[in-house]
Amino acid sequence: MRCRCPALKDLFAASCPEVLPPASVRTLYTAQLMIVTIDGVAASGKSSVSGGVARALGVPYVSSGLLYRAATLLGLEAGLDLHDAPALLAHLQTHPLRLEPLAEGNRVWQDGRELTDELHSTRVDRGVSVVAVLPEVRAWVDAQLRALPSPFVAEGRDMGTNVFPRAGAKFYLTASPHIRAQRRAQERPEDVPAIEAALIRRDELDRVQSAPALDAVVIDTGPLTLDGVIQTILAQLPEQVTSA
């Protein structure tokens, strides 16, 4: 159902008072106020920073990118065409994924198998942006994220714009491609120039869903330490988030 309520048109359609009683709308609205979103470009520090902020607040953090990565891994393993949304979705429905949003690091499971360690391989890095532009896959990820109980810190590309537009605090992390590649080179077998080229390509493929929210605080993490970024964010959180 399409929401016609002007005050809520940027919330998800299911929260429209034409569908739900006002008390339920209020509950959904309040629940979003206890969410912190940390979006940004690839390797800008989102998951490390989200983990640090979440631990300081005593809440979990949620990595949306891991769900896109897991969908990509399953598609690759099944030999599917990554552009084929109906085939991918059918596969995801018969092989359900579960995101475990722990404060110390997110894990992804498919039945009894843990996929987490396989999600940051070069082949998943290469395929994930193809899968992530499919609207059907985006809706599948969004539904899983919106079903999680707040409070939590959510990180990705469109947490503050599309998934949790009423979040209590929004941040957007950037850094130059070269600095990001130098950081990621600690975690990948490729050299800095190859990683930098792949990051620039992925930034371009992810450009549409990666625009910062208009009300996000943009932080250039280039000159900051990891702890410096975490402290910068903690210092700007509103009370409804810190007291949640």
Ligand X SMILES: Nc1ncnc2c1ncn2[C@@H]1O[C@H](COP(=O)(O)OP(=O)(O)O)[C@@H](O)[C@H]1O
Ligand Y SMILES: Nc1ccn([C@@H]2O[C@H](COP(=O)(O)OP(=O)(O)O)[C@@H](O)[C@H]2O)c(=O)n1
- One-letter-per-residue 3-state SS of 107-146: EEEECCEECHHHCCCHHHHHHHHHHHCCHHHHHHHHHHHH
Q: Which amino acid is at 137?
A: V
Residue 186 near ligand X by CB under 6 A:
yes
Looking at beta carbons only, is 45 or 151 nearer to ligand X? 45
- The answer to the question of whether 170 is labelled as a binding residue is no
Task: Determine which residue in the list 36, 76, 92, 128 makes contact with ligand Y, applying CB under 6 A.
Answer: 128
What SS3 class is residue 35? Answer: strand
Residues 203-222 that bind ligand X (CB under 6 A): 221
Binding residue (CB under 6 A) for ligand Y from 209, 231, 232, 242: 209
Strands 152-156 and 35-40: parallel
15 annotated as belonging to a binding site for a ligand? no
Count interface residues toward ligand Y (CB under 6 A): 17
Structure tokens belonging to residue 44:
């800008």
47 annotated as ligand-binding: yes
**210 in a labelled binding site:** no
Report the C-alpha dihedral over residues 52, 56, 60, 62, rounded to 10 degrees: -30
Q: Nearest approach, Cβ of 18 to ligand X (angstroms)?
A: 38
Residue 226 interacts with ligand X (CB under 6 A)? yes
CA angle 76, 79, 82 (to 5 degrees): 60
Q: Which residues are annotated as a binding site for ATP?
A: 40-48
Residues that bind ligand X (CB under 6 A): 40, 42-48, 183-184, 186-187, 221, 224-226, 229
